[in-house]
Structure 1
Amino acid sequence: MESEADNKLLFLDVLVQRQGNRLNTSVYRKPTHQYIYSSSCHSIQVKRGVIVTLTRRAKNICSTPQSLSAELDHLRYVFTKYNEYPSPFVTQTINNTLDSTTKPPRQQTAPFTISLPYIGSTSHHIRRLLKQQADIDVTFQRGNSIQNLLQATGRPRSSQKQDPSGVVYHIECDCGDSYVGETSRPLTLRIKEHQASVRKNYSKSAIADHIKAHPNHNIKWDKTRTIVRNQSDYKIQ
């Protein structure tokens, strides 16, 4: 339901801009975007992976050298200025990601690999001991957080399995227009947020804007479908 404005059109994390008879693309991010802080309890591999992923996204989306350069400058500034990552770490990670040299696949050196919750420096000690004493490789996954354990009401989260997270989804209006969105959270939760935006007439929602402009239209909530699903459900390892 996004419409072109000032020769620009937003689609997921892509900004499409009409310039003459050409369509150029660059990265689009919501004003509320945020990244892992340098002091957060995540392994260095996860923090490096965030920068690698954002750099690859910029490389894949940006259609001009100017837009790619601007996006990489933004990443360097945000991670060093606001997230307090060491500048050499950020720069080296970005440069290594941009390097087109084919890197050989990582060889598994141990016969067994296990996944453990990451709890800081203790996790690294455990990994080193398991490798030295039992020849076992260890990967890390995110442990429980307050967000995992509590809802906004203060009640514990239900043990019932939620819908898979990390999907691109499609919502249709009875007029034929449709909305395509993406979320890293359970789809049912994101749909409830869309419905609340329509009820409360929030202008931050493209669906709510559509209903505001066309009050006689009806959104086919029950026809919402998943286009792409992240099989790992955004699980960090």
Structure 2
Amino acid sequence: MLRQVDFYFREGTFFDDSANNSKGRAPHYRNAGPGVIEVIILDPSGNKNSVPVKVRQTNPDLWRCEYISPTVGLHSVNIFFAGQPIPNSPYGVRVAPISDARKVRASGRGLQPNGVRVKDDADFKIYIEGAGEGVPEVQIIGPGGVREPCKITKVQGHTYHAVYHPMKEGRYVIMITFAGQDIYKSPFEVNVGPYKETMIKAYGPGLVGGVVGYPALFTVETNGETGALGFSIQGPSQAKIDCHDNGDGSADVRYYPTVPGEYAVHILCDNEDIPLSPYIAQILPNTDYFPEKVDVYGPGVEPNGVQTHVPTKFTVDTRKAGSAPLDVKILPADKGNATVVLDLEIYNTKIQEMMEQCQYKKLRKDPTSSIETKECTNITQTLKSNGYPSKIINKGRFPTSRQENRRVKEDTNKISTIIPYIRDLSEKIRRIGNAYNVRTAFRTQDTLRANLTRVKPKNENQDTNNCIYEIPCECGKSYIGETKRPLKVRIKEHQTLTRLGNTEKSRIAQHVWEDNIKYTGTKQRL
């Protein structure tokens, strides 16, 4: 009689191979005689009480069984009728973990449809946060149906890094699965181009990331290579692109992202991606506060004058910086902390101190050699990751002795004096004053020759060597400088220093980068 009993998944019953989900099995019997269905489920450890079963009869010939498994692995489902096991019992059921591959995301240069070339390090990242239990797997099919190797490394708790090295040009199909299921947008198709070398170099923070509402900047140098440069930005929204030709084989590029997310920055030469293009930039959302607008002043932040065991104070003005919490920390260079009392009644908004976010002010607050070395290392790594050449980084980090002496002289507070100019005598006085840290300037004597002599020649006859020049700015300000070299050489230096962001050697570069002013250098007058 027991041979008349069948056990099967009846169409329409609930079934899921995931842990912590109900499974419905419908034992069906007909002409088996009197008896009762009994179901016992053993978990992977052999325990029969860990998986409770609900059995109910839905009609004279059909029983419905439901159970919830709290563990993952192979389970043994034992079915008895009238105390005897039915044919083919027990049944093996493998329970998989709960996972949702639709929540897994993958992005990176190695998944871009165009731009990857032969022998490139084509990499991408897989984000599994919120997808449940499971491990991502990657299969890559190259030209001719050949499977390409791919190395996957777990870099963080919910992030994996994958890299492959295409050796042939052609179409590659990248299939990414999570817990045996395809993730969002998988499979990916990548068109790998031929291997190519180029002299074109690109670097700058805009190739790595940025903030919504602020321009993302980068520089492209052709280094003598010919070809028409082009740029395109692909991302969650359109981004306006501004390109400024510097006239020396380089170009400064700005793009304006309006939505946070991942942007692919394509740099093209004759309508083809240059090697390493596209660059992947992560654009972060904008904030409603502006730490750079916080103003700090008062005796408590002066370099000198603060006494031990004597209370002092300073003011943090955040009226222009927006709303954010205040966090003030004063850390002496040797040890211990200082007590800070905040008086927020004089402000209408919450405040946040810029010192905690600015590396320069960190060094000003705690100028120890260990912190300085650590910060210099962090700055060097950041510049290298943004593509800045090592020559420029080392030039700023390890200045020559002449540059050091110049900085020492510039930092020294000199006393200034003005004396009448007397030939042969005034020069001796100036040399003596320099020895005693006194800056000497000459005033011409009120003579008949000085009153009758025309000092400034006509514009058309002015010499651009050894001259005083003025450069007007679009903001209304003007820069006045003096040079002994040809004026066009000095103007080109200003342009180069502005493009490289060297604010120490050019006040024009400092004005452009700090006040976000566009500088062309095309207008100047003597």
- Using structure 2 for the length normalisation, give the TM-score: 0.14
Larger-Rg structure: 2
Q: Which has the higher contact order (CA 8 A, sep 6+)?
A: 1
TM-score, normalised relative to structure 1: 0.30
**Structure in which a larger fraction of residues adopt strand:** 2
> Quick check: which one's helix share is greater?
1
